[in-house]
Amino acid sequence: MDSQSVGFLSREKTLVSPPPERVEEAYRGLSPQGTLTIQCRATEVSALLGAAERAGFRGMRVDRSEGLKILAHKTGPQGAGYSGPAAAALDDESRLLLGGADPTPPGRDPFLSDAKRLVAWLGLSAGTKNRVVVFYPGPFRMLILKDGSMVRRGQPVRLPAEQAAELEKAEGAWVNPKIWSAATDPRNFGALYRERGAICLLESDRPADLDGVDEAPEAMKRRLSTVIERGEDFFVLTGSDPRQKDGCCPSNEVGEANALVQAGILSSSVESGTSDCPATIYAFAAEIRRVGDKPSFVRNDPLRAAVKERILRGPRMSRKLLVRLALMAIAGAALAVLTVTLFRQLRGR
Amino acid sequence: MNDETYFDYAAAAPPFPEALRRLDEVSLQSYANPSSTHGRGKNAREALDRAREAFLARLGFHDGRLILTSGATEANNLVLREAMERHPSGRLLLSADAHPSTWFANDLYGKRVDILRTDSAGRIRPEQLEQQITRKTVLVSLLHGNNETGVIQDVKALGAVCAHRKIPLHVDGVQVIGHLPVTLSELPFASYTFSAHKFGGPRGVGGVLAREVPGGAQIQGGGQEQGVRGGTENLAGLAASVVALDLSCRSLETEVPRLRRLARTLIADLRSSIPDVLVNSDPDAGLPGLVSVSFPTLIGEEIVLEMDVRGYEISAGSACGSGKREPSRPLLAMGRSRVQALGTVRISMGRFTTAESVGGLAAALRQVVEKQKALA
């Protein structure tokens, strides 16, 4: 009850092309003012930025001055505003910073109303001609341009040359970087907002792998159903992931919930700061934000509906299942041919 | 931050602003080292002596002295280690509901420690103590008020047994000082420990109230505190603690019955809305405003986190050890099962707690328990 934890945490740590779980470990081992440097290849940037975001790092920036690296901080800028050329920026604490607006006073959370205001501000599309590849290195998680284009940190997109030049000048964006020649057109906030609501700002581009629901044990499926049916924001589990080497109080439920986080179905936030077993909040993907020292939740209704449907209807023909069936069919056919051949040979004797 | 929704006074009470002002004042005025022989040093020494006397007087302790430490954990370590080192073949009789700051001795001196049993109400009966004291017992250590269940031990009766058997009694009084009226001179103990942050004083101030100065030091060098605890004395901290103790003690006449009323209301509310709740604390005979309740099959930490999200700060009774969740030892000692003990939370109230905030807490707790039962 009155137990205490004593931590000896480092201020700086460097990892070279680490697997994503090492990023989370590094987060736990850093002091509150600590910085993680991740040296990596261009193809790894997106996944490692995602891992660093999930671990809780703030104000991340991709740097190319001495090889490619990601700089990730445990504490982000407090009360920051946004004054660049974009209509708004989303920071790593999921605060929507409207261009030119004053920073939000502590304790207030205008996320939903600001997202609505932002949609009303958006202008016409900047067109599709003369597009060039643009890489936004950070420190914000995302910029929402005046035509609604969503430019995510670490994910190259194709933008009109004029917009690209503006971002290069004001935000240090990289235009036509040699290491990223392939890029997609950005998604549009206005269109996504009308379809999915404000949650579209918080969702990752990687869609949830609903096969993860099928693979979850029945008890976990019941838990997810109850959360959806009761309209709960979140659930809590205590204990550590059995896959974690130095974890105390291993809990299978935590392992199952973390598998759903990996599948992009749930999101999580480790809350306990003591040496006791960690207590973790789980909500559906992208739903957890932090307002001050407390978690806050934005309902991901489209995902909840999809998960509910999946639990009710059971697995559909997923790619994994199709591959499995195809392999079984091939194996079956091979066995049949073998049996017939053997039978004929035996009769021939 | 809303002080009314803070229900973890037993872990740390909000400091009195008057005490913190005194801390500032004394830090700025009497900064000299009390061990220095120059004028300012002598002034600091005098201020320290005055603060010490005022503290002892407030507790009605006229036949002993105060050894300043950084808190009760250090104070308890000092007493237990000194006794065990002074008597290498002696045995410690340690109460089953001991706080970790004395329970450490069970891990450290294992084979030389006997566990003093509590009954199903969490109390130590004098005849039980009498029975468990052996010829080799060199110290009896117990909690005056249990930090998890609020159970208060009859120190007078237990001390009489120890005195009769000529065994020194150590009492961990952390939860009692500033929360219940006590006249320490009337209690037959050898040493009594406290922490100032539990009654609205600053952190880092605690001590041993001792009838005899212990023979050995755990922190050496400097020779302060009559050679028992080296290190420059925390004069400002003690002066601030005197103010906090004074304010706490002066409010006891009204605060004790008020907190007991609030605890009764909360328990009645929880019993009516959550029929299977188990109440581990006694609102009338235990520590004022401390309520311990168990929700079998649930996990205390998960309730605590859910309550925190809803804006209420409470605490749980289990801890992690040896790769699994360990239920509260005091509750197990009272006969609660592992499943019952794991689902335990502690709600502790204090001067900012109101009837409205207790009502809000009860409603939130009911919602959380319903939710967790549905999800279990």
CA distance linking residue A132 with residue A161, whole number of Å: 6
Closest residue in A to B346 (Cα–Cα): A1
Interface of chain B toward chain A, CB-CB under 8 angstroms: 10-11, 99-100, 147-148, 299, 301-302, 304-306, 308-309, 311, 315-317, 319-320, 323-325, 328, 346, 371-372, 374-375
Closest residue in A to B374 (Cα–Cα): A226
For residue A234, the chain B residues in CB contact (below 8 A) are 309
Q: Is residue A325 part of a domain?
A: no
CATH code where residue A55 lies: 3.40.50.150
Query: Does one domain contain both A95 and A172?
Result: yes
Within chain A, strands assigned E span 10-16, 30-39, 58-63, 69-73, 88-90, 96-98, 131-135, 142-144, 149-152, 157-160, 174-175, 187-188, 235-238, 266-270, 279-284, 288-291, 294-297
Task: Select the residue from B8, B315, B375 to test the A interface by mutation, using most A Cβ atoms within 10 A.
Answer: B375
Least confident of A76-80, A209-213, B145-149, B189-193: A76-80
Out of B306, B317, B324, name the one closest to residue A1 (CB): B317
**Alpha-carbon B128 to chain mean position:** 23
Encoded tokens for A282: 């789980």
Out of B315, B325, B374, name the one closest to residue A1 (CB): B315
Contacts of B330 (CB under 8 A, 6+ apart): B96, B97, B118, B122, B146, B148, B149, B151, B317
Contacts of A65 (CB under 8 A, 6+ apart): none
Q: Is residue A40 part of a domain?
A: yes
Indicate the residue among A146, A175, A203 that finishes a domain. A203
Indicate the residue among A76, A103, A126 that finishes a domain. A76
Contacts of A133 (CB under 8 A, 6+ apart): A156, A157, A158, A175, A176, A177, A180, A181, A182, A183
Query: Does one domain contain both A51 and A96?
Result: no
**Alpha-carbon A107 to chain mean position:** 25
Query: Does one domain contain both A51 and A127?
Result: no
Please tell me the predicted confidence (pLDDT) of residue A127: 67
Please tell me the predicted confidence (pLDDT) of residue B29: 94
Note whether A238 contacts B301, CB cutoff 8 Å: yes
Q: Is residue A347 part of a domain?
A: no
pTM: 0.86
Encoded tokens for B317: 């009774």
Q: Is residue A21 part of a domain?
A: yes
Please tell me the predicted confidence (pLDDT) of residue A329: 85
Least confident of B131-145, B275-289, B323-337: B323-337
Topology (CATH) of B17-247: Aspartate Aminotransferase; domain 2 (3.40.640)
Residue A315 pLDDT exceeds 90: no
CA distance linking residue A304 with residue A231, whole number of Å: 10
Assign domain B3-11+251-375 to a CATH class: alpha beta
Per-residue model confidence as pLDDT tens digits over B178-219: 999 999 999 999 999 999 999 999 999 999 999 988 777 788
Encoded tokens for B340: 């019952």
- Where in chain B are all domains bearing CATH 3.40.640.10? 17-247
Closest residue in A to B372 (Cα–Cα): A235
For residue A228, the chain B residues in CB contact (below 8 A) are none
Cross-strand partners of B326: B319
User: Which among A49, A240, A19 is positioned nearest to A152, based on CA atoms?
Assistant: A49
Greater model confidence, A131 or B194: B194
- Among all chains, which residue has been given the structure tokens 């909040």? A281
Within A41-85, strands assigned E span 58-63, 69-73
CB A129 within 8 A of CB A160: yes
Query: Does one domain contain both A82 and A199?
Result: yes
- Where in chain B are all domains bearing CATH 3.90.1150.10? 3-11+251-375
Query: Does one domain contain both A197 and A101?
Result: yes
Domain span at A12: 8-76
Q: Is residue A219 part of a domain?
A: yes
Domain count, chain A: 3
Out of B147, B311, B323, name the one closest to residue A249 (CB): B323
Concatenating the DSSP letter of every residue in A295-333 gives EEE---HHHHHHHHHHHHH-----HHHHHHHHHHHHHHH
User: Which among B1, B2, B3, B6 is positioned nearest to B314, based on CA atoms?
Assistant: B6
Residue type, A118: L
CA distance linking residue B34 with residue B46, whole number of Å: 8
Query: Does one domain contain both A58 and A97?
Result: no
Query: Does one domain contain both A197 and A96?
Result: yes
Closest residue in A to B367 (Cα–Cα): A232
Query: Does one domain contain both A64 and A140?
Result: no
User: Does any CB of chain B come closer than 8 Å to the CB of residue A223?
Assistant: yes
CB B96 within 8 A of CB B141: no
The phi, psi pair for A270, rounded to 5°, reads -75, 125
Residue A126 pLDDT exceeds 70: no
Q: Quote the percentage of chain A above a pLDDT of 70.
A: 90
Least confident of A11-15, A144-148, A205-209: A205-209
Mean pLDDT taken over chain B: 94
Per-residue model confidence as pLDDT tens digits over B41-92: 999 999 999 999 999 999 999 999 999 999 999 999 999 999 999 999 999 9
Please tell me the predicted confidence (pLDDT) of residue A9: 78
Distances (CA, A) of A293 to A233, A249, B127: 17, 26, 50
Note whether A230 contacts B374, CB cutoff 8 Å: yes
Report, as an integer, the average pLDDT of B336-359: 96
Task: Provide ipTM, 2 decimals.
Answer: 0.85
Query: Does one domain contain both A125 and A191?
Result: yes
User: Which among B110, B120, B174, B112 is positioned nearest to B142, based on CA atoms?
Assistant: B174
Q: Is residue A109 part of a domain?
A: yes
CA distance linking residue A182 with residue A176, whole number of Å: 10
Query: Does one domain contain both A181 and A139?
Result: yes
Query: Does one domain contain both A195 and A224?
Result: no
Report, as an integer, the average pLDDT of B329-350: 94
Residue A114 pLDDT exceeds 60: yes
Q: Quote the percentage of chain B above a pLDDT of 90.
A: 90
Residues 255-284 of A with CB under 8 A from B: 271-272, 275-277, 279, 281
Q: Is residue A1 part of a domain?
A: no
Q: Is residue A332 part of a domain?
A: no
Please tell me the predicted confidence (pLDDT) of residue B123: 96
Q: What would the 3-class secondary structure string for A176-227 be?
A: CCCCCCCCECCEEHHHHHHHHCHHHHCCCCCCCCCHHHHHCCHHHHHHHHHH
Least confident of A49-58, A131-140, A270-279: A270-279
Query: Does one domain contain both A50 and A105?
Result: no
Encoded tokens for B60: 């009605």
Please tell me the predicted confidence (pLDDT) of residue A241: 86
CB pairs under 8 A between A and B: 64
